[in-house]
Amino acid sequence: MPNAFSKEERVAFEDILEGFNDALVLSRNVSVYKTDQTMMERTNNVIWRPMPYIAQSFAGTNMTSNFKDFTQLSVPATIGFARSVPWTMTATELRDAMQEGRLGDSAKQKLASDINVALMNVAAQQGTLVVKRTAAASGFDDVAQCEAIMNETGVQTFDRYLALSTRDYNGMASNLAGRQNMTDLPKTAYQRAYVGMIASFDTYKMDYANRILARSATSVTVNGANQFYTPRATSTAGTGETSNVDNRYQNLAVTVGSGTIRVGDCFTLAGVNARHLITKGDTGQLKTFRVTAIISGGGGTGTIQISPPIISGQGGTDAELQYQNVTATPANGAVVTFLNTANADINPFWQKDALEILPGRYAVPTDAGAAVMRASTDQGLELVMTKQFDIDTLVTKFRMDVLYGVVNKQPEMSGVILFSQP
């Protein structure tokens, strides 16, 4: 056929796929949901994924009045990342097969990086468990705080991961390298700046990291009482049509004394402690929240969107009691205390089931004058390479493509640790 791949190119593609799979370090530490690609196209690449159920228990043997419906919450997941690396080679450049291989390797490296970055962006921007450390990263105690907030919230104790910026990771390694009583670990930390597992977290060093700015807004208070949230699986339009509801967010009216609230800001609310999501016990620690959008007021006095919602149980509905996550609804005038008090790298941590990647697929025709190779990674992420020659210019077009989606199904099972926050 015209525009066919050579044997050498097919072998090179197999090597590229192997390297691509190896480079997807972070994607192997999240869950994977493989979709029906035909149905995804018919639903505009959106599917609703269920959040974890939280059950209620009752005392006694007579359950006559306790048979109630569970409220199944779900979140929209979109296959919305389409990444491509295109390049061209002339007929003279193709005389050097090594150049073609190098360009393919660079495409593989960039696409794998795009996937890792997308995952970390979602974790960094939507994780709601916030650990504030006043000093630079230094060791076990830092990560132990991440473990504590997860345990107190009721997050599973297995498959936990922490991604640290290079400088913060090296700070951890420096602390470990100085411990003379730990066989082999100090030597590895000293020679390779390798940390490994700390406080139940598998740790990874990022060569990139999101940044968070120091809070700008000051003298911020809650504007209005009874701003609690009632979870619901669906909503019904005036026409009677039923649709799903994303329960990860809530609008909160606030008053800002000065400055501006920004998306990404981390904060606590006076008098609002976190509850263990399963036992419903008071953790004794203030619940942490993130600003996810500015609804009105331009970041000043007005309404902000926050995550997670304030589910205090004040309304007394079964759904509230099932998904209750705080001890109280903030009072009118309750003080908003921001945790990001200095510019810093955002270091995300998460439990595997919180983040999910959705592999997509391109139906690239193989009979349209272009050569097509495709293969899938261990997780089902498909890498497609296409080649087409132009006889008019003696130029060959190449492109390498990947299609995928990323979703944070449960922001309360993921979070961020911020260092050097006075």
Query: What is the model's pLDDT at position 192?
Result: 43
Which CATH number is 268's domain given?
Answer: 2.40.30.240
pTM metric for this prediction: 0.89
Do 128 and 59 belong together in one domain? yes
Q: What average pLDDT does this structure show over 269-279? A: 96
CA 86, CA 82: separation in Å to the nearest integer?
Answer: 13
Q: Would residue 180 count as lying in a domain?
A: yes
CA 62, CA 322: separation in Å to the nearest integer?
Answer: 20
pLDDT higher at 209 or 68: 209
Q: Would residue 363 count as lying in a domain?
A: no
* pLDDT of 188 strictly over 70: no
| pLDDT band at residue 72 under the 50/70/90 scheme | confident
pLDDT > 70 fraction of the chain, expressed in percent and rounded: 94
Beta-carbon contacts of 98 under 8 Å, excluding residues fewer than 6 positions away, are none
Least confident of 31-35, 264-268, 418-422: 31-35
pLDDT higher at 53 or 214: 214
Cβ(161)–Cβ(352) below 8 Å: yes
Do 176 and 221 belong together in one domain? no
Cβ(410)–Cβ(353) below 8 Å: yes
What average pLDDT does the structure give for the chain? 89
pLDDT digits (tens, 9 = 90+) for 159-183: 999 999 989 988 887 666 555 555 5
pLDDT higher at 37 or 272: 272
Do 329 and 351 belong together in one domain? no
Positive or negative, the CA dihedral 220, 221, 227, 231 is positive
Query: What is the model's pLDDT at position 161?
Result: 94
CA 39, CA 36: separation in Å to the nearest integer?
Answer: 5
pLDDT digits (tens, 9 = 90+) for 324-371: 999 999 999 999 999 999 999 999 999 999 999 999 999 888 777 889
Q: What average pLDDT does this structure show over 110-137? A: 94
pLDDT > 90 fraction of the chain, expressed in percent and rounded: 62
CA 315, CA 175: separation in Å to the nearest integer?
Answer: 48
Query: What is the model's pLDDT at position 296?
Result: 95
Do 254 and 332 belong together in one domain? yes
Q: Would residue 104 count as lying in a domain?
A: yes
| pLDDT band at residue 195 under the 50/70/90 scheme | low
* pLDDT of 147 strictly over 80: yes
Residue 176 is part of which domain span? 8-79+96-212+343-356+402-422
Cβ(356)–Cβ(410) below 8 Å: no
Do 333 and 276 belong together in one domain? yes
Do 127 and 72 belong together in one domain? yes
Query: What is the model's pLDDT at position 193?
Result: 42
Cβ(189)–Cβ(177) below 8 Å: yes
Do 320 and 410 belong together in one domain? no
Least confident of 10-14, 154-158, 209-213, 222-226: 10-14
Name 359's bridge partners.
Answer: 404
Do 256 and 190 belong together in one domain? no
Do 182 and 258 belong together in one domain? no
Query: What is the model's pLDDT at position 23?
Result: 80
Q: Would residue 108 count as lying in a domain?
A: yes
Query: What is the model's pLDDT at position 187?
Result: 47
Do 22 and 138 belong together in one domain? yes
Q: What average pLDDT does this structure show over 69-94? A: 91
Domain count, the chain: 2
Do 148 and 270 belong together in one domain? no
pLDDT higher at 402 or 63: 402
Query: What is the model's pLDDT at position 292?
Result: 97
Query: What is the model's pLDDT at position 364?
Result: 87
Last residue of a domain, one of 339, 368, 389: 339
Q: Would residue 374 count as lying in a domain?
A: no
Do 254 and 177 belong together in one domain? no
Among all chains, which residue has been given the structure tokens 């929209």? 76
